């Protein structure tokens, strides 16, 4: 289960009662359902599930918190306005698709082909410069040509990804991202740029939502760049698991796991040459 320490602040001066949760950094998204817990004397009775409203990377809030949550100790939110303290926040549910337009695809007996796209961005702090992102698609459903989605071209590259499934039990997933190393192209790229902490943005959609240019007719009435499975599905390269003339396998981690990673992080080949 994802569970993070945080601090809270009660604000009853807004149009709705609000509990503000402060982090150094957090991975939660609008609509995530979380459970709040605190040993504060005035809040220890409140352990309910509430929906997250993200303010920014370091803060979210619970809106329209009912006064009745404090009934066991006979106080109202107004009476504890400005109260702060420590707390923990635990993810209770997985997210639903980012677009409601995908629901009919899930329920259809014959959905259109599932498309998996990846935006690979090297970390500026690790490499000391801004590097243009690389765009790939996994070639699923026997689609071997380049694809265009939201006016961006994704190169067809043999990619296999495993372990992306998220749960609320046990440890966080650490997916494997395996890329074909044809003519040692990926090895050469990683000699030029260090992949540690590179961001992998995964975009899942269906064929019917791709840009019109992908179709021989040149038209597609259902093209929709907003029709994706999950918004902001971001992962980060933690280490290179294996590298050989055929493939390169990267292990990814979520944002939480990268919080305390020290930089720069170096890796070594068998020749002991640092890159």
Pairing of strands 176-180, 247-253: antiparallel
Per-residue pLDDT for the chain (275 aa), expressed as one digit of tens each?
Answer: 567 888 888 877 755 667 788 887 787 777 677 888 887 776 666 667 777 888 888 888 876 666 665 555 566 667 778 888 888 888 765 555 556 666 666 556 566 778 889 999 999 989 999 999 999 988 766 677 899 999 999 998 888 888 766 544 445 678 889 998 988 999 999 999 999 999 999 898 888 899 999 998 999 998 988 888 877 788 899 999 999 999 999 999 876 555 444 444 444 344 333 33
- Distance between start and end Cα atoms, the chain: 36
What pTM does this model have?
0.58
- DSSP 8-class letter at 197: T
Q: DSSP secondary structure string, 50-106?
A: EE-EEEETTEEEEES--GGGGGGGT--TGGGTT-EEEEEEEE-SPPPPS-GGGHHHH
Out of 3.40.50, 2.40.30, 2.60.40, 3.40.1000, select the CATH number for domain 3-91: 2.40.30
Domain residue ranges of the chain, discontinuous segments joined by +: 3-91, 100-253
Pairing of strands 199-206, 234-243: antiparallel
> Please, which residues bridge with residue 147 across strands?
154
């Amino acid at each position: 289960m994802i569970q993070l320490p945080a601090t809270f602040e009660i604000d009853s001066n807004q149009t709705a009662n609000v509990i503000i949760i402060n982090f150094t950094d957090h991975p939660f998204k609008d609509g995530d359902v979380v459970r709040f817990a605190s040993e504060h004397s005035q809040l220890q009775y409140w352990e309910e599930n509430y929906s997250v409203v993200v303010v920014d990377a370091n803060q979210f809030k619970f809106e329209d918190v009912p006064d009745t949550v404090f009934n066991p100790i006979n106080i109202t939110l107004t009476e504890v306005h400005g109260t702060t303290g420590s707390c923990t926040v635990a993810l209770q549910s997985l997210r639903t698709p980012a677009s409601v337009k995908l629901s009919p695809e899930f329920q259809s007996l014959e959905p259109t082909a599932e498309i998996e796209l990846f935006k690979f961005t090297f970390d500026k702090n690790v490499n000391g410069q801004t590097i243009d992102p690389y765009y790939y698609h996994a070639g699923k459903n026997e689609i071997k040509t380049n694809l265009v989605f939201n006016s961006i071209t994704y190169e067809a590259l043999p990619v296999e990804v495993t372990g992306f499934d998220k749960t609320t039990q046990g440890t966080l997933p650490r997916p494997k991202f395996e890329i074909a190393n044809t003519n040692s192209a990926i090895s050469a790229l990683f000699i030029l740029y260090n992949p540690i902490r590179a961001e992998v943005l995964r975009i899942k959609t269906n064929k019917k939502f791709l840009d019109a240019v992908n179709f021989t007719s040149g038209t597609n009435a259902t093209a929709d760049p907003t029709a994706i499975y999950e918004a902001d599905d971001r992962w980060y390269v933690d280490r290179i698991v294996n590298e050989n003339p055929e493939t390169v396998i990267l292990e990814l981690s979520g944002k939480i796991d990268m919080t305390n990673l020290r930089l720069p992080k170096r890796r070594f080949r068998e020749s002991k040459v640092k890159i």
